[in-house]
A = this chain, B = another copy of it.
Amino acid sequence: MSAPQGWEEIRAEVLRRIDRRDWAPGAIIPTEAELAAEFGCARATVNRALRELAAQGVLERRRKAGTRVATLPVRKATLDIPVTRLEVEGRGQHYDFRLLEASETVPPVPVSSRLGLAPDATLWHLRTLHFADGQPFLYEDRWLNPAVLPDGLPEDMAEVSINEWLVKTVAYTYGDIAFSAANARADDAAHLGVEPGAALFITERTTWAGEAPVTAVRLAYAPGYRLHTVL
């Protein structure tokens, strides 16, 4: 190949060789130093290209054993999880929301259990309907642990949605996220303006800040929602 310009070109050339079976599935490929010499580029450039391919599941890298072409690659896809306002605005639509409920109450046992809290612990229950161009976009049913917010809820809850306020207020959280499909419950149907039983895309998140449970939230999207990414 002619002298490559950057790591993207190295990556493309490596993919061509894998695709042509110059480097077969399971085979060990040349070292970074050998590839850098062959391509006439810095070893760091080769390293960047191989790291990207390993992150995508195309290559398998082991410190001592070298770099192999994956035999049965597990493809990886990255999803962006923005706050809802930015998700709606990113579609070029006008964002708005309405707070439906903000109460302090004892949650159903599955909620306290997911958060690792005692069954009689009191949580904030916050339900929000998010709109895109004035149409219901997302119905958010959230439980929030008051212990993580010593200053309480924001003064004006009509200003910023609880979703966005939390992202700004609790700087970093760990969590898990699950995507599924469900037939619309009565409350989903009423708020989203659809027939009960309509198939809805559901996101459930549970997040933690250090050892402390923060929030458990269920997001029910209006029909037609697609979560999209590239492979």
Report which A residues bind B (CB closer than 8 A).
Answer: 15, 18-19, 21, 25, 58, 69, 71-83, 86, 164, 167-168, 170-183, 197-202, 205, 207, 209-210, 221, 223-231
Contact = CB atoms under 8 A, between A and B. Distances in A.
Contacts of A171: 18-19, 21, 25, 69
A79 to B, nearest CB: 5
A200 B199 contact: yes
A200 B227 contact: no
Nearest to A169: B25
A197 B200 contact: no
Copies in the complex: 2
B81 A76 contact: yes
Contact of A15 (B164, B172, B226): B172
A24 to B, nearest CB: 9
A74 B78 contact: no
13 contacts: A19-B209, A72-B168, A75-B81, A75-B82, A175-B231, A176-B228, A176-B231, A177-B229, A177-B231, A179-B227, A180-B201, A180-B227, A181-B200
Contacts of A180: 201, 224-227
Nearest to A83: B72
A74 B82 contact: yes
The 9 closest A-B pairs by CB, nearest first: A181-B181, A199-B199, A75-B81, A181-B201, A175-B231, A181-B199, A183-B199, A179-B227, A178-B228
Contacts of A168: 25, 71-72
Contacts of A77: 78-79, 81, 177
A80 B74 contact: yes
A169 to B, nearest CB: 10
Given A19-B171, A75-B80, A179-B228, 6 more contacts: A58-B172, A71-B168, A179-B179, A179-B227, A181-B223, A181-B225
Contacts of A202: 181
A138 B201 CA distance: 17
Given A18-B172, A21-B171, A183 B201 contact: no
